[in-house]
Amino acid sequence: MHPTSISPFGTAPQLALFAMLSSSAAAQGQEVALPEVTITGNPLGRTEMAAPTTRLLGEEFTLRARSTLGETLDGLPGVSSTYFGPNASRPIIRGLDGDRIRILQNSGASIDPSSLSFDHAVPADPLTIERVEVLRGPGALLYGGSAVGGVVNIIDNRIPRAPLFDASGGVTGKADLGAATGNSERGGGLMVETGNDRYALHADVFRRRTDDVKVPIALACEKPGAPSLTRRICNSASETEGGAVGGTLFFDHGYLGASVSRFNSDYGTVAEDDVTIGMRSTRYAFQGELRNLSGWISGLKAQFSHTDYRHTEFEGSEVGTIFKNRGSEFRIEARHAKLGPLEGVIGLQGESVRFSADGEEAFVPRSKTSQVALFAYEELPMDWGKLSFGARTERVSVESLGSGTEGVTRFASAKRDFSPGSASVGALINLTPQWQLTSNLAHTQRAPKDYELYANGPHLASAAWETGDAGLRQEKSNSFDVGAAWAREQDRVALNLYVWAAAGFDDTLLRWQMKPEVVNGEKKDIQSRVQTRGGQTGR
């Protein structure tokens, strides 16, 4: 049988009204205990990693869960968050955000435009998340230049990766109901899983509603039908719902699974009292693995996903800008047999995304971005620990397809190609059974995004007219971190220090201050050098 545990969620103060439940069928079969191994940036499945990594799961995740991904992770070592009201928040890692942070779903691209603007929400709800892994620093380069700041991997069990029960089978599930007073939040989620040692099925559904956030002072509000003065943040209400089904077939040396999920959200943007966003996202995913193969390839992992994302910005009841993001991604990792003591994987990853923002107020053109990358990761065991090596080379094409709105002529057709490359080396040193030292050194190159190259229009969320530069160069950065960790049984304390420096850094604020035109009589360069340094402690 399963233990009963309280599952609160939402913003504090909060009340969990329901808890973990199991059907009677669960007692008929023995559940399979799975080892807790970090997935992100760990293709060899090691329990020890040189790269700084945080896992958030189980009771700790339940107690931290908020309505957005950024707020849920805010406060973890090296992590803060953007905040565009209670409905849109993305993680900031080591001071970097936007397209320098890579958000993944089960190690695959999320393919959403949340990095384009702070008022765009990440299509993920903590009610359906099994755990989150945050990978900082050089180890993230396996996922491309857009992961230069780090990786946030959202992991669910919609495609079960291992049998849930033994041969006799069983059923398990959980249900969460919760409420919060600050925004009159109410919501809940239900998950059911069944199977045996040869198959597993998963289904989940969730819904969350909030009213405008309460505040202690009266604020002006111009939303139709609302009081002109109210003790609430005007236009901060939201309604989110979704669900998924998935399944996996297991065989002696691997598995093959698939899932389909849906995420719907309607929420106010708070920047303007009468502007709301209606988001719809559908994701199809396939995943498989072959293990214990003979020959030079000892293991093979593959995954494919396709996402159809759309959100509409409404001005009152009128349709404003319509954003669409349709894209597919594949990733293949082949683990090679040992070359002496050397173990590692080589991989191929590809992604193709078509984006459009149609409307008179669109500040970016329609675009097509495609990339293909080859990467490798190797580990060399040593008497004192291990050395790790990583490398990635990419080919990126970013094409502007012009405007899709009649009468809007400020976008031109253009195309740029880039060939970024990255490499890293790391070391893990076992000083004693309790003490470890780690260090990582990396060089990373990042290709500019479509909006950095071709933006030209009013960005109402930031109250600015954004202008890209089609002549941008690749951003090049170097990073170094060193850490020390002490662990004994379940107790662990870690300290990390890091420095990151980039050439060709491009940012919205810098674009306005350093656009290549005469400002106070001086010429300025749009791209600049940036350096960040800091430290973090944690478990």
Q: What pLDDT was estimated at residue 460?
A: 74
pLDDT for residue 272 is more than 60: yes
We report the CATH number of the domain holding residue 340 as 2.40.170.20
> Are 385 and 427 in contact, with CB atoms under 8 Å apart?
yes
> Are 187 and 209 in contact, with CB atoms under 8 Å apart?
yes
Q: Does residue 3 form part of some domain?
A: no
Question: pLDDT tens across 133-179, in order?
Answer: 998 766 677 888 888 888 999 999 999 999 999 999 999 998 888 88
Question: pLDDT tens across 349-374, in order?
Answer: 999 999 999 988 888 999 999 999 99
Average pLDDT of every residue of the chain: 85
> Are 53 and 38 in contact, with CB atoms under 8 Å apart?
yes
Span of 9-13, 189-193, 440-444 with lowest mean pLDDT:
9-13
Q: Does residue 125 form part of some domain?
A: yes
Give the percent of the chain with pLDDT over 70: 87
Q: Does residue 516 form part of some domain?
A: yes
Q: Give the pLDDT mean for 1-7.
A: 34
> Are 260 and 283 in contact, with CB atoms under 8 Å apart?
yes
Question: pLDDT tens across 400-451, in order?
Answer: 999 888 778 888 899 999 999 999 999 999 999 999 999 999 999 999 999 9
* 15 or 278, greater pLDDT: 278
Q: What pLDDT was estimated at residue 28?
A: 54
Q: Does residue 5 form part of some domain?
A: no
Q: Does residue 396 form part of some domain?
A: yes
Q: Does residue 6 form part of some domain?
A: no
Of 485, 483, 497, which Cα lies nearest the Cα of 533?
Answer: 497
In angstroms, the CA 210 to CA 239 distance is 6
Q: Does residue 9 form part of some domain?
A: no
In angstroms, the CA 449 to CA 458 distance is 18
pLDDT for residue 34 is more than 60: no
> Are 449 and 456 in contact, with CB atoms under 8 Å apart?
no
Q: What pLDDT was estimated at residue 8?
A: 35
The backbone torsions φ and ψ at residue 137, rounded to the nearest 5 degrees and listed phi first, read 80, -155
Give the percent of the chain with pLDDT over 90: 53
Most confident of 27-31, 48-52, 322-326: 322-326
The backbone torsions φ and ψ at residue 126, rounded to the nearest 5 degrees and listed phi first, read -55, -20
* 310 or 25, greater pLDDT: 310
Q: Is residue 147 classed as helix, strand or coil in its secondary structure?
A: helix
Q: What pLDDT was estimated at residue 198?
A: 96
Q: Give the pLDDT mean for 207-213.
A: 94
List, as one string, the DSSP characters of 434-452.
Answer: SEEEEEEEEEEEEPPPHHH
In angstroms, the CA 71 to CA 195 distance is 34
Q: Does residue 8 form part of some domain?
A: no
Domain hosting 85: range is: 14-538
| Residues in contact with 32: Cβ distance below 8 Å, sequence separation at least 6, in sequence order | 162, 163, 164, 165, 166, 197
Q: Give the pLDDT mean for 20-35.
A: 48
Largest interatomic CA distance in the chain: 79
pLDDT for residue 10 is more than 70: no
Q: Is 469 exposed, middle or buried (0-12, 13-18, 19+ CB in 10 A)?
A: middle
Count of structural domains within the chain: 1
Q: Give the pLDDT mean for 274-300.
A: 95
Q: What pLDDT was estimated at residue 377?
A: 92
